[in-house]
A and B are shown apart, each in its own frame.
Chain A
């Protein structure tokens, strides 16, 4: 069984995003970039499927600039077998990403796609669902457990207030939530080995997919600043202020 894992290069989750003074976006120059945390969970899950003997091949795919090769190398170091970069300088919207992934899937014919539920830059939480729709494949989003047997996947999903379990026929799309697993750190020998694994680079234009943006970014601004308040002297003082001043008790 072949598993495809799309991964995205984003600002590291420990770095505070800063808005550019000209309000055109977030400043990414000289900022630490890493694999999107939810994509890391997806890679880990795919690699575990391989270690269990369920998956035979794990292919990582990224759509982005040439630096996204580093992100793919991370996926390879974690245990993916090979990688594909669809290279573009454009910042694609989820619908366009889904269309590009659909084109990659047409060539690769995976049995299962495991991907992060959302990227922590755009925070859209849409690509997996859109991809499932475009392919007419079943979807199981926000997975906290995944069990594959034969041509079916049993997926436990995080829903409001609890857990839901679905069974989907493969091929299908699973999007990873935080609880699915704890991603491993790539060991040094595996990082070295990853350098020798296949990483194919393809230009976005060669796929012939319509990736024109549908949304125009008018501006990107700082959220209203929250100013620090006051220090209270005691717990009793705190309760009285919450009651009378803030009116929240």
Chain B
């Protein structure tokens, strides 16, 4: 069987979600090709060709593919599926946007956000925001799968696959790209960050949230997150929200400050490698999942943490 992996990139750089998805694909088959769909993305295709275990890289370019239009992605991938038994896409917002279209067109189920490949037909995926794990077996001839990249190790570089250019589909008639505004932040993106510093309702105001959380995050090179309570109270913008209805993160280090640990929030961060909780309430549920808990008022604990980090050379 042959497997197609759809690369995650921004037309300039290949993102490591791709290497992670290749790792998942290699558990299905040793015949793994990577599709780079974009605009001016030859450099991305060359980078994908270096991933160990990749047989071939397909490169398709057009304006609409560069803009990531779901209709164009589907029109590109569906005919290619004549040559593949499965297509794996990293479960980014871009991947989630187009992958179900491929499944619908092929009249198969999508197996969403897998975290484990049991065998070529059987996969494990989180449901109920990770409060349960579902093992599903697919009876479809072709598998359309999205992969939660955070749980797979990135495949190493060292390959030398060929890059083959393929034609791009016609532009979709009913969807028109207007513009794209990417946040130019010195901070890493929340869903892919190695360290996340999150603040909760204890902050009490948006000013206090920024005064306390932002400098700590910047010191650690971390992304900033927030609990739903903090977002609902207007202390942090909506796209900071970590939790069942917000973003699901799994960084190396998650630091929760003044967050009590509602189920809603835990669902979004409990797969983090190391969890630190700072809260003055020793009975806060967040301590039940924290590897390191510090029972203290953030008002004294965070400045102390800042100086301890400076002393440690951070």
Contact = CB atoms under 8 A, between A and B. Distances in A.
Contact of A138 (B112, B175, B273, B301): B175
Nearest to A135: B104
Contact of B132 (A26, A127, A159, A235): A26
Contact of B175 (A11, A142, A158, A168): A168
Contacts of B93: 142, 158-160
A142 B97 CA distance: 8
Interface string A112-134: 00000000111111111111111
A94 B110 contact: yes
Contact of B245 (A26, A38, A126, A232): A38
Contact of B101 (A129, A163, A216, A234): A129
Nearest to B144: A126
A38 to B, nearest CB: 7
B183 interface: yes
Interface in A171-223: 172, 178-179, 213-223
A126 B100 contact: yes
Contacts of B71: 138-139
A178 B245 contact: yes
Contacts of A121: 127-128
Nearest to A37: B245
Report the interface size class on chain B: 35 or more
A95 interface: yes
B136 A19 contact: no
Report the interface size class on chain A: 35 or more
B293 A230 contact: yes
B132 A223 contact: yes
B294 A161 contact: no
Given A95-B103, A215-B109, A236-B304, A228 B288 contact: yes
Interface stretch (A42-50, A74-82, A238-246): A238-246
Contacts of A16: 131, 263
Contacts of A127: 100
Interface string B94-121: 1011111101110111111100000000
B179 interface: yes
A231 B92 CA distance: 35
A124 B309 contact: no
B50 to A, nearest CB: 23
Interface string B169-181: 0001111111111
Nearest to B15: A160
B25 to A, nearest CB: 19
Contacts of B150: none
A93 interface: yes
B82 interface: no
A246 B292 CA distance: 10
B112 A242 contact: no
Interface of B: 67-71, 74, 92-94, 96-101, 103-105, 107-113, 122, 125-140, 172-183, 189, 191, 195, 220, 238-239, 241, 244-246, 252-253, 262-264, 270, 273-276, 287-296, 301, 304-305, 307-309, 311-312, 314
Interface of A: 11, 13-19, 26, 37-38, 93-95, 98, 120-134, 137-142, 154, 158-169, 172, 178-179, 213-223, 226, 228-232, 234-236, 238-243, 246, 248-249
25 contacts: A15-B263, A17-B129, A17-B131, A26-B128, A95-B103, A123-B126, A126-B103, A129-B99, A133-B105, A142-B96, A162-B182, A162-B183, A165-B177, A213-B109, A215-B136, A216-B136, A218-B122, A220-B127, A221-B133, A222-B133, A230-B291, A234-B304, A246-B253, A246-B292, A249-B314
Given A178-B238, A228-B290, A248-B195, 18 more contacts: A17-B128, A122-B127, A124-B110, A133-B101, A142-B96, A142-B97, A159-B180, A160-B191, A163-B180, A214-B138, A215-B139, A218-B135, A219-B135, A226-B275, A229-B293, A231-B287, A232-B292, A239-B312
